[in-house]
């Protein structure tokens, strides 16, 4: 095999390694996004529970807790959207 052919093979092997590394990074980020989605679903469930408690107890003391839970869910959703945008940009 000529030196040029060997060089081309080495270049292709390097490109393959870089592509595999990029794929591993994307898979890792995807796993992180899935984990955050599960956290978001949990926060939504918590918020729904807080809302149910508020309606049934009819107590103004619960309002700050509901607002805090809503802020937490909104923040988690914004973070998730941002991560999804970052991953889409990298693809």
CA distance 37 to 34: 5
Q: Which of 36, 71, 69, 40 is nearest to 52 (CA)?
A: 69
User: Which pLDDT does position 62 carry in this prediction?
Assistant: 52
pLDDT digits (tens, 9 = 90+) for 4-27: 777 888 989 999 999 999 999 999
* Predicted TM-score of the model (pTM): 0.46
User: Which pLDDT does position 61 carry in this prediction?
Assistant: 57
Q: Is 62 exposed, middle or buried (0-12, 13-18, 19+ CB in 10 A)?
A: middle
pLDDT digits (tens, 9 = 90+) for 41-90: 888 888 888 877 776 666 555 556 667 777 778 888 888 888 888 887 77
């Amino acid at each position: 095999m000529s030196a040029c052919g060997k060089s081309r093979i080495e270049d292709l092997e390097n490109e393959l390694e870089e592509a595999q590394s990029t794929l591993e990074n994307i898979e890792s980020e995807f796993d992180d996004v899935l984990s955050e989605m599960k956290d978001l679903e949990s926060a939504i469930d918590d918020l729904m529970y807080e809302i149910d408690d508020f309606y049934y107890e009819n107590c103004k003391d619960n309002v700050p807790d509901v607002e805090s839970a809503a802020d937490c869910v909104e923040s988690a959703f914004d973070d998730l959207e941002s991560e999804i945008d970052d991953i889409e940009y990298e693809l």
